[in-house]
Amino acid sequence: MPAEPQLDRATLEREYNVRKNRPDFEEIGKGWAARSAAFRDKAGGKLDLAYGPAPRERIDLFRCGKRGAPLLVYIHGGYWQRSDKSVYSFVAEPFVTHGADVALLNYNLCPNGSIPVITTQMRTAVVWLWRNAEQLGIARERFNLGGHSAGGHLTGMGLATDWPAIGSDLPRDLLKAGIPMSGLYDLEPLRPTEINEALGLDAATARDYSPLFKKPASDAPVLATLGGGETQQFHRQTDWFVEAWQRHGIRIERFAEPDVDHFDFVNRLADAKSELFRRCFAWLK
């Protein structure tokens, strides 16, 4: 990571606590929830599949109906402390329509959870899907991981996971491709901000759970995306991540969807006519 001047707390707050930059934040969420409910009503998905005993250890699965379709495992954002998979069902719609299966994960929210716990839950969910692929009607050999914001961070952690260390039946290349979106790859800048009040990150945990300081566990190609109108620090986070992981010799590309901020990015992802959707869909293996 390139050196840069130490940023003061007010700047970090403005750069990272992006919901404060959108006075219509609550209305955005209500709109997403309504679109998602409408999609679920017609999609016929399998809802609230349990991958563990905790109430939030649940998955919604939407299938396109094609045998052997690629699977996108999608992890929602909310700074590990807000939101729910049900708000993001609408993101699955264009992927399903164009021939991909989509699984959306829930996980414990901070402060009841923690980033180490959530990271473990993400891995547990992916393993559960892989081990139950035949029963679920999904292609075990076509797993792709993606997520937005906090989900982008968790995507990076998933791509750095040594799957055979979790289970001898798991292949090193369990994930065929990764699409982290508007991700947080170095958690240290969050520690002085209001965001960390629920996360409770100390310096050691922030580093241990920063994908920037990990290495890819396989040759899975990575498409690191974000909105062109996101804050300077989100652009720097993505640049740092791409530069760091390029050193490991994997294929990693950066794409910024023009003219959208952190939240309108999600709307563009769910728009089958957008360049962002086309690139993400084409990235699925």
Three-state SS sequence of 254-269: EEEECCCCCCHHHHHH
Structure pTM?
0.97
Q: Is residue 22 included in any domain, yes or no?
A: yes
What is the domain-level CATH number for residue 239? 3.40.50.1820
Whether the per-residue pLDDT at 238 is higher than 50: the answer is yes
Residue 185's contacts (CB-CB under 8 Å, 6 or more residues apart) are 152, 153, 156, 210, 211, 212, 237, 238, 240, 241, 244
Domain region containing 22: 9-283
pLDDT of residue 4: 53
Tens digits of per-residue pLDDT, 112-138? Answer: 999 999 999 999 999 999 999 999 999
pLDDT-above-70 percentage for the chain:
98
pLDDT at 250: 97
Distances (CA, A) of 182 to 3, 17, 266, 276: 21, 13, 10, 12
CB atoms under 10 Å from CB of 160, counted, come to: 17
Query: Phi/psi of residue 87, each to 5°?
Result: -70, -20
pLDDT of residue 6: 80
Whether pLDDT at 2 is above 80 = no
Asked, for residue 165, whether it belongs to a domain, the answer is yes
What average pLDDT is seen over the chain? 97
The Cα 78–Cα 81 span in angstroms is: 6
Identify whether 235 is part of a domain. yes
137: left (phi over 0), alpha (psi -120 to 50) or beta: left
Which residues are bridge partners to 71 per DSSP?
A: 101, 143
Q: Please state the rounded mean pLDDT for residues 240-246.
A: 98
Does residue 64 form part of some domain?
A: yes
**Is there a domain that residue 2 lies in?**
no
46-60 per-position pLDDT tens digit: 999 999 999 999 999
Domain count, the chain: 1
pLDDT at 102 over 60: yes
Q: Give 143-174 pLDDT, tens digit per residue.
A: 999 999 999 999 999 999 999 999 999 999 99
Position 1 in a domain? no
Query: Does any domain span residue 4?
Result: no
Q: What is the pLDDT of residue 3?
A: 43
> Count of alpha carbons within 13 Å of 88, Cβ hemisphere only?
29
- Residue pair 241/212 in contact by the 8 Å Cβ criterion: yes
Q: Is residue 255 part of a domain?
A: yes
pLDDT in tens, 42-98: 999 999 999 999 999 999 999 999 999 999 999 999 999 999 999 999 999 999 999
